[in-house]
């Protein structure tokens, strides 16, 4: 018995529709759960030298080398096209570079996922930022990337100055200010952050003491 062709077509349409529905649901779940706090050990230690690595770009088989000590500040954004939180980071990075602020920092998106996956993400397919595919599988290990997204800021001397697991535009601007600032100003920025954190802890302690009637 021969199955009518229209039924075969209908079955394929149903299967494709189901596959599309699964993808949409997966991405929505990723947006819900992708904001969970990342482990604090992600990323290289602050003050260590960034690792050099080879990579190629989309549609270009030529091998290029990322050398972190060439006198230019760099943000390495470890991202993946199938990661919804990564899409948000790519959009924030694009907004930061298209703003009125004249940032000098080079931004390099680093991913291990196949180039074809770029077309699955609107943020990745439309971005003007450079996307790098490392030629070695050890790059993420060298930068201690356990999850994406992760931003690593490198100063002009090739030293890691900031590491953040973030998607927020304000965080990106803060990182850019830190990495582009002269060393003295950067040290002042870190001291200011420490002072703000210490003051916040003192205020919380005072509130706890007051709520207990002055008893520790």
Predicted confidence band of residue 13 (pLDDT cuts 50, 70, 90):
confident
Q: How far apart are CA 180 and CA 5, in angstroms?
A: 64
Per cent of the chain over pLDDT 90 is 52
Tokens in use for 111?
Answer: 């991913």
Give phi and psi for 123, each to the nearest 5.
-60, -40
Answer yes or no: are the C-beta atoms of 64 and 57 closer than 8 Å: yes
Supply the mean pLDDT for the chain.
79
Tokens 């080079």 correspond to: 106
- Whether 87 and 53 have beta carbons less than 8 Å apart is answered as no
Better-scored residue on pLDDT, 31 or 46: 46
Name residue, tokens 């582009």: 180
Please report which confidence band the pLDDT of residue 33 belongs to, taking 50, 70 and 90 as the band edges. very low
Give pLDDT, residue 196.
45
Going by C-beta distance under 8 Å and a sequence separation of 6 or more, which residues neighbour residue 158? 49, 50, 67, 68, 69, 70
Report the pLDDT averaged over residues 173-179.
Answer: 92
Mean pLDDT in residue range 92-117: 87
- The answer to whether the Cα torsion of 28, 145, 178, 202 is positive or negative is positive
**CB atoms closer than 10 angstroms to residue 109:** 24
Question: Is there a contact between 127 and 96 (Cβ–Cβ < 8 Å)?
Answer: no
pLDDT at 195: 52
């Amino acid at each position: 018995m021969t199955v009518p062709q229209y039924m075969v077509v209908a079955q394929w349409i149903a299967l494709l529709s189901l596959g599309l529905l699964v993808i949409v649901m997966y991405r929505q779940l990723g947006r819900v759960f992708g904001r969970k706090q990342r482990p604090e050990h992600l990323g290289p230690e602050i003050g260590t030298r960034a690792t050099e690595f080879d990579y190629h770009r989309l549609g270009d088989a030529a091998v290029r080398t990322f050398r972190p000590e060439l006198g230019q500040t760099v943000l390495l954004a470890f991202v993946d096209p199938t990661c919804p939180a990564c899409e948000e980071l790519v959009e924030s990075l694009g907004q930061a570079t298209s703003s009125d602020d004249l940032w000098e920092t080079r931004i390099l998106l680093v991913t291990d996922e196949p180039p074809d996956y770029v077309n699955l993400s609107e943020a990745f397919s439309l971005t003007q930022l450079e996307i790098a595919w490392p030629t070695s599988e050890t790059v993420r290990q060298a930068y201690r990337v356990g999850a994406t997204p992760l931003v690593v800021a490198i100063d002009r001397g090739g030293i890691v100055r900031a590491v953040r697991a973030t998607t927020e535009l304000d965080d990106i601007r803060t990182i850019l200010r830190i990495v582009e600032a002269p060393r003295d100003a950067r040290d002042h920025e870190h001291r200011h952050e420490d002072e703000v954190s210490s003051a916040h802890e003192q205020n919380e302690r005072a509130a706890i003491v007051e709520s207990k009637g002055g008893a520790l």
